[in-house]
Amino acid sequence: MEKVVEIKNVSMNYHTMQGETQAIRNLSLDIKNGEFVSIVGPSGCGKSTLLSLISGILRPTSGSILVDGEPVTGPSGNVGYMLQKDHLFEWRTILKNATLGLEIHKKLNKESLAHVEHLLDEYGLADFKHHYPKQLSGGMRQRAALIRTLATNPDILLLDEPYSALDYQTRLAISEEIWLIIRKEKKTAILVTHDIAEAVAASDRVIVLTGRPAEVKNIHEISLTCDTRTPILCREAPEFRRYFNDIWKELDIHVQ
């Protein structure tokens, strides 16, 4: 499969008056087209930083990042980024929130609007287009946030703990839904999570990072035997436990 993201010897240092923080050190990683990859690592190790670098809102101190073979120079419509909270704007309707990216890229026209409306219809928000965010449940809001990300039609989705603000039940349900949407829309996804089970259940590969500064500690190719490949069903797979334990042990060393 072709590589859509290539991270080559990337290091990232933050500078503040309090001092210098090395967040990422000499990290290399490739992501293939259509893959669902999860990144796990100890708190504060540099996971969000890595996503920000891929999205182009931060520039690495050294090394290079290529998306679709092109060096990243800034945010582009080709990479969608979903943050931890939905950050829907309470003064905009769901439809208006969903078209925000298109407005910014000045690509809001009949076709793109129809595309967004189609996504909203398709993913259960048809009746809520003209509602305001506070009228929606947490799960629906997260779906709306995903559609806002999908509106500019990115090939790559970056998800930074997108469900962690939700309660456990909603979280299971919405992570399943969003996984299905991502698969259906044939996107490449990079998910940062603290939840090992979620990572194993959803991913083709799980990348374990070391403590700060982040380096790749290990990469797990996940292959689960289950009839239908969806996160919830695959939690029943016999291999699930083993992956979980392996990753948990790798993380645990660094928590101590």
Ligand X SMILES: Nc1ncnc2c1ncn2[C@@H]1O[C@H](COP(=O)(O)OP(=O)(O)OP(=O)(O)O)[C@@H](O)[C@H]1O
Q: With H, G, I as helix, E, B as strand and everything else as coil, classify residue 228.
A: coil
Provide the strand spans (E) within 33-78. 36-40, 62-67, 70-71
The amino acid that residue 25 corresponds to is: R
Q: Does 48 bind ligand X (CB under 6 A)?
A: yes
Euclidean distance between CA atoms 70 and 7, whole angstroms: 11
Residues 118-137 contacting other proteins, CB under 8 A? 132
Site for ligand X, residues 209 to 238, rule: CB under 6 A: 212
23 binds ligand X (CB under 6 A): yes
Site for other proteins in 168-207 (CB under 8 A): none
- Can you tell me the distance from the alpha carbon of 148 to that of 97, in angstroms, rounded to the nearest whole number? 7
Write phi, then psi, for 130 (nearest 5 degrees): -100, 15
Question: Within 55-74, which residues bind other proteins (CB under 8 A)?
Answer: 55, 57, 74
Question: How many Å is the Cα radius of gyration of the chain?
Answer: 18
Judge whether 59 and 136 are in contact, CB under 8 Å: no
CB of 207 to ligand X, least distance (A): 12
Based on CB atoms, which residue is closest to ligand X, 17 or 227? 17
CB of 84 to Mg ion, least distance (A): 7
Distance from C-alpha of 206 to C-alpha of 223, rounded to nearest angstrom:
11
Partner interacting with residue 32 (select from ligand X, Mg ion, other proteins, none; CB below 5-8 Å by kind): none
DSSP 8-state assignment for residue 141: H
Sequence-distant (≥ 6) Cβ neighbours of residue 230 within 8 angstroms: 176, 179, 180
| Closer CB to ligand X, 43 or 245, in the complex | 43
Per-residue binding letters, 15-54, with other proteins (x by CB under 8 A)? ----------------------------------------
Selected binder of other proteins within 41, 42, 101, 213 (CB under 8 A)? 101
* Total residues binding other proteins (CB under 8 A): 23
Residue 119: both structure tokens together = 């996504």
In Å, what is the CA distance from 24 to each residue of 10, 41, 171, 217? 7, 12, 29, 12
203 is an interface residue for Mg ion by CB under 5 A: no
> Which of the choices other proteins, ligand X, Mg ion, none does residue 45 contact, using the CB cut-off of 5 to 8 A by kind?
ligand X
Give one DSSP letter per residue of 173-207, joined into a string. Answer: HHHHHHHHHHHHTT-EEEEE-S-HHHHHHH-SEEE
With CB under 8 A as the contact rule, the residue among 20, 90, 221, 227 that binds other proteins is: 90
Q: For residue 81, state whether it binds other proteins (rule: CB under 8 A).
A: yes
Residue among 4, 10, 47, 250 that touches ligand X (CB under 6 A) = 47
Region near ligand X per CB under 6 A, out of 15-23, 59-67, 98-106, 248-256 = 15-23
The footprint of Mg ion (CB under 5 A) covers 48
The footprint of other proteins (CB under 8 A) covers 55, 57, 74-77, 80-81, 83-85, 87, 89-92, 100-101, 103-105, 132, 152
The footprint of ligand X (CB under 6 A) covers 14, 16, 21, 23, 41, 43-49, 212
